[in-house]
Chain A
């Protein structure tokens, strides 16, 4: 019953919001180039579904490669920073500078570094954006070791590497996944937006810009919906991985 209520309430609100939107547009006679009606967007979504699917695969591939690369780099950098004290003091301001960089604005510059048909700049943008939340969260997790755990490992005469592998890393997993959850949606946004600046015309971002350029706004919105769904898929997959990776958290009721 509780489950039904938890699902029912947001669905009802969503349906009401879409209905209100539809009525506002049709009764208020809002010009379709300002705000298309949801029904028009849905029509376009159905009509363009094959294109949206193809574009989502292209953008999703870039986002996935960026996410995996950035996350791996983030975790490894955090491991290194937590192992060598001075490194972590240097690396945090460095990571903060990296985070403050308007990465998206770098996309056109990165585009010029590679061939115009290359997907590498988009993957790089996604990877750099993913790096920061994963690095910071993982580092925090690696540092927060239960003092009893470190004393116990000391009494077991465990080496620093063994300690990192058996205690620090599994203990940091919840933090890693907090970072990954933030990063998963960011990776999709980065991969899509990076396409606004030219290069290959295969992804959702380029489809959105070209549809908008042809004043085909319902079509542009249909691709935006596709990008939204892609982001959701990334987020939910991360949630699922989190549950699989940490069975001790989901098996609390046993």
Chain B
């Protein structure tokens, strides 16, 4: 069974109005179980829209989205995925531990069990010592790690991430990338990761899906096999070859004007 199946999905915003926008046009995407897929493309190519469709935060105009064999709506209600955004979006009145507990709390898990689970998740992202802190006491990178711990708390089969490291400095970003890969490998989670960093997409993903704008559609799907996903991997020729390949795929799409022919 595939983690995500997006079948001929079209999304039109403000349909029938003068400011109508075709955000996605007949998009097909399949994410296999345990696969790490990145969505990359210029601003306005609909990559975030696609992620939000999978999350059932918005509904498709046409086509179907299936998550873990269920409709996207059912999957959301059963918390089949965890999600993290560019802003950590922590609840500032809750301690770090209670932030991670929140999705479990809403699932009706007992106090003792959710506490144990949240502590386990915080240990996973290396923040066990900060359980009692409030979000405002943490740095941006630490907050983002809490957000990831929270997304993983329900141990979902699928992780959706919308530029989660976009607001972080380069060093923190690289460290979190390595941590994220380790976590995904450990938990066997499938991941859909939206980014506009080519190097980030290549380093993290088994597959990089390249999108273009107006209307948003998928123009290339590039498999990435690196010898290793660590600092050595970041310096391997395969890594640089794939970066070039993704960059070419991005350039090959009509970004500025649809009149340019492919």
Looking at A112-120, A154-162, A218-226, A227-235, the stretch in contact with chain B turns out to be A154-162
Whether B134 sits at the interface, judged by CB under 8 Å, is yes
Q: A146-B89, A252-B134 are in contact. List 6 more A-B contacts (CB 8 A).
A: A154-B57, A155-B57, A156-B106, A170-B94, A248-B93, A251-B134
> Within 8 Å CB of B83, what residues of A?
151-152, 155
Are B93's CB and A173's CB within 8 A?
Answer: yes
Are B57's CB and A251's CB within 8 A?
Answer: no
Flag B34-73 by CB within 8 Å of A: 1 or 0 each: 0000000000000000000001110000000000000000
> Within 8 Å CB of A162, what residues of B?
106
> Within 8 Å CB of B87, what residues of A?
148
Whether B166 sits at the interface, judged by CB under 8 Å, is no
- B-to-A contact residues, CB < 8 Å: 55-57, 76-79, 81, 83, 85, 87, 89, 91-95, 102-103, 106, 133-137
The CA of A38 and the CA of B87, in the complex, are separated in Å by 57
Are A166's CB and B136's CB within 8 A?
Answer: no
Are B93's CB and A251's CB within 8 A?
Answer: no
> Within 8 Å CB of B85, what residues of A?
148, 151
Central interface residue in B76, B91, B93, by most chain A CB within 10 Å: B93
Are B91's CB and A167's CB within 8 A?
Answer: yes
Interface of A, secondary structure class, is helix
The total of interchain contacts (Cβ-Cβ below 8 angstroms) comes to: 59
The CA of A248 and the CA of B96, in the complex, are separated in Å by 11
Q: Give, as a whole number of angstroms, the nearest-CB distance from A153 to chain B.
A: 8
Whether A241 sits at the interface, judged by CB under 8 Å, is no
Q: Give, as a whole number of angstroms, the nearest-CB distance from B80 to chain A.
A: 10
Are B106's CB and A170's CB within 8 A?
Answer: no
Known A-B contacts A248-B136, A252-B137, A254-B133; A156 and B89 likewise in contact (beta carbons under 8 Å): no
Are A252's CB and B76's CB within 8 A?
Answer: no
> Within 8 Å CB of B76, what residues of A?
154-155, 157
The 8 closest A-B pairs by CB, nearest first: A148-B89, A248-B134, A170-B93, A157-B77, A156-B106, A254-B137, A248-B93, A156-B103
Are B106's CB and A248's CB within 8 A?
Answer: no
Whether A8 sits at the interface, judged by CB under 8 Å, is no
Known A-B contacts A155-B83, A156-B102; A246 and B137 likewise in contact (beta carbons under 8 Å): no
The CA of A141 and the CA of B72, in the complex, are separated in Å by 32
Are A158's CB and B57's CB within 8 A?
Answer: no
Which of these, B93, B106, B135, contacts A158 with CB under 8 Å?
B106
Which of these, A151, A157, A246, contacts B93 with CB under 8 Å?
A246
